């Protein structure tokens, strides 16, 4: 029997996309969210063509397409000299190549667009302020007042729903942390390009920055090794901690970049967590998606997009085959996809944080690589069509 009803736990990007994807497949969906009010933490978000394609099919993209920015390129630059090293063209060229746009936006913009579609959908009910500390099938059924054929854990890296999946992975500190800033565009220095995503690279660290058109700001994230903070999600660092970070992680970097990080307002420090290897489904009626299954480091800018793909692929699977078989197929297919994307992120981390002779060799390779060749190496990521994979 294919799925007729589902309960989704978590109303972040993964959960709301799953609810819409399932509902568009004719499934009745109840969404449970522990927060009493919908508010999304974080700042900027990159949505590449493989994610934008899904959002367009769900009718979400049109709700913010006039407000987000479609950058002309993703450019790798030297953190020491600020000179460009390599460029992947986006904009019109990228849209034509991959069949959907690449955009950057504030995370809240996407969250609110998804929420609007969920609230308007006749097959979806959303219940806020619902914390399920010890999930069980019966507890979930009682919370929504119905039995469900499918239970979806979209409750993030600290997922409680993993308790229903024997052998599921567990949250683990990655060894890396992100310093996040949102700078008013009028206050950002001229070397921060307003029409592209720029990744400044250096030994053991990199800084990604891009405009947030809808709020008139620049999103800036600096990533380097960090200490395990326990269960902390984000921390407001002291000025002493900020100076120590810049002095340690950005030693030898361009002074203008260092000064920017030292003076940018209200930084937040985010420890980056992954999930250890483990099962994503019980092969019966429970499945984990997004960060609950495979929280990823941001070295390929695919964390949110993998959650979007998860949701749409899951809906396609449970629509076309019995739920148990669908979940087995889903995990096998998505595990292979996510592993390949994660490997690309690991390669990017190695390239971004290279030092010494490896850095010199990297720069030489980039100098000899045409932009079209660099774009072609991303076709398998950005050209992916979720929901159309063979069953």
pLDDT tens string 205-214:
999 999 999 9
Rounded to two decimals, the pTM is 0.95
What mean pLDDT is predicted for residues 99-117? 96
Q: How far is the C-alpha of 249 from the C-alpha of 243, rounded, in Å?
A: 10
**Cα-to-chain-centroid distance, residue 241:** 27
Q: Give pLDDT, residue 126.
A: 95
Under CATH, what is the fold of the domain 5-171+275-382?
FAD/NAD(P)-binding domain (3.50.50)
Q: Give pLDDT, residue 353.
A: 84
List pLDDT tens digits, range 121-140: 999 999 988 887 788 999 99
Q: Pick the closest to residue 51 from 391, 390, 389, 383 (CA basis).
A: 383
List pLDDT tens digits, range 245-265: 999 999 999 999 999 999 999
Helix axis angle for 13-24 and 107-120, nearest 10°, is 30
> What residues have CB less than 8 Å from 75, skipping those under 6 apart?
84, 85, 86, 87, 88, 193, 196, 197, 198, 199
What mean pLDDT is predicted for residues 101-124? 96
Q: Pick the closest to residue 172 from 223, 229, 236 (CA basis).
A: 229
Q: Give pLDDT, residue 116.
A: 96
List pLDDT tens digits, range 140-179: 999 999 999 999 999 999 999 999 999 999 999 999 999 9
User: Percentage of the chain surpassing pLDDT 90?
Assistant: 79
Asked whether the predicted pLDDT for residue 40 surpasses 60, the reply is: no
Q: Give pLDDT, residue 194.
A: 94
What mean pLDDT is predicted for residues 31-35? 89
Asked whether the predicted pLDDT for residue 367 surpasses 80, the reply is: no
Give the chain's mean pLDDT: 92
Q: Give pLDDT, residue 36.
A: 63
- Name the more confident of 350 and 112: 112
Asked whether the predicted pLDDT for residue 37 surpasses 80, the reply is: no
Asked whether the predicted pLDDT for residue 391 surpasses 70, the reply is: no
């Amino acid at each position: 029997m294919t799925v007729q009803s589902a309960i989704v736990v978590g109303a972040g990007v993964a959960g709301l996309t799953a609810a819409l994807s399932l509902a568009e497949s004719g499934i009745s969906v109840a969404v449970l969210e522990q927060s009493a009010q919908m508010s999304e933490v974080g700042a900027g978000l990159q949505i590449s063509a493989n994610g934008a394609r899904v959002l367009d099919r769900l009718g979400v993209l049109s709700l913010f397409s006039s407000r987000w920015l479609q950058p002309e390129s993703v450019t790798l630059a030297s953190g020491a000299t600020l000179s460009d090293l390599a460029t992947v063209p986006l904009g019109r060229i990228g849209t034509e190549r991959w069949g959907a746009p690449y955009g950057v936006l504030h995370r809240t913009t996407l969250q609110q667009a998804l929420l609007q579609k969920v609230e308007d959908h006749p097959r979806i009910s959303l219940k806020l302020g619902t914390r399920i500390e010890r999930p069980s099938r019966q507890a979930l059924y009682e919370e929504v007042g119905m039995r469900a054929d499918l239970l979806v854990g979209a409750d993030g890296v600290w997922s409680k729903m993993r308790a229903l999946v024997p052998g599921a992975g567990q949250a683990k500190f990655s060894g890396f942390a992100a310093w996040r800033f949102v700078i008013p565009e009028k206050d950002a220095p001229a070397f921060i390009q307003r029409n592209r995503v720029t990744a400044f690279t250096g030994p053991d660290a990199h800084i990604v920055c891009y405009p947030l058109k809808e709020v008139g700001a620049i999103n800036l994230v600096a990533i380097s090794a960090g200490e395990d903070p326990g269960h902390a999600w984000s921390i407001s660092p002291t000025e002493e901690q900020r100076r120590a970070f810049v002095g340690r992680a950005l030693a030898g970097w361009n002074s203008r970049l260092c000064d920017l990080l030292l003076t940018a307002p209200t930084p937040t420090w985010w420890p980056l967590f992954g999930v250890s290897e483990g099962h994503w489904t019980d092969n019966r009626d429970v499945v984990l998606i997004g960060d609950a299954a495979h929280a990823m480091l941001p070295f390929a800018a695919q964390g949110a997009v993998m959650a979007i793909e998860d949701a749409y692929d899951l809906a396609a699977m449970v629509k076309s085959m019995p739920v148990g078989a669908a979940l087995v197929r889903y995990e096998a297919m998505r595990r292979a996809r996510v592993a390949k994307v994660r490997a690309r992120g690991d390669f990017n981390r190695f390239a971004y944080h290279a030092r010494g002779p490896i850095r010199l060799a990297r720069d030489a390779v980039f100098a000899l690589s045409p932009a079209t060749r660099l774009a072609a190496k991303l076709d398998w990521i950005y050209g992916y069509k979720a929901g159309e994979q063979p069953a």
